Amino acid sequence: MAETALLGLKTTWPLAEAVLQSSLFIAGSHDTRGLPHHAPAPTGAAVLVEVACVAAAIASHRDSQRQAPAGATLAAPAGPSAWKLSGRVAR
């Protein structure tokens, strides 16, 4: 894992690496209760950013629920998927 580089995306890779290298994991006695040790809770401005993002997502979801008629489903946007486009490298 140490030889892998993921650029541009924020991932949980550092957390996975820390867990896999921990003495508890190596000894076979690791469980999810140990995760806060490897990934401490955000503090300060990071908390405010997380709270703002969650609040924006909730507000957006509520707005979309109010605008859609009962039983309606959302159609996929036309054109290539944003996920496909984000994975492509300019040549």
| Nearest Cα residue to 37 out of 23, 54, 51, 50 | 23
Alpha helices by DSSP H, 1-91? 13-21, 23-27, 35-38, 45-67, 82-87
Average pLDDT, consecutive stretches of 10 residues, N- to C-terminus, the chain (91 residues)? 68 81 86 74 81 91 77 71 70 51
Query: What is the pLDDT at residue 68?
Result: 65
Query: What is the pLDDT at residue 6?
Result: 67
User: What is the reported pTM?
Assistant: 0.37
Query: What is the pLDDT at residue 1?
Result: 64
Which residues make Cβ contacts (< 8 Å) with residue 18, sequence separation at least 6? Answer: 38, 39
| Nearest Cα residue to 42 out of 7, 10, 17 | 10
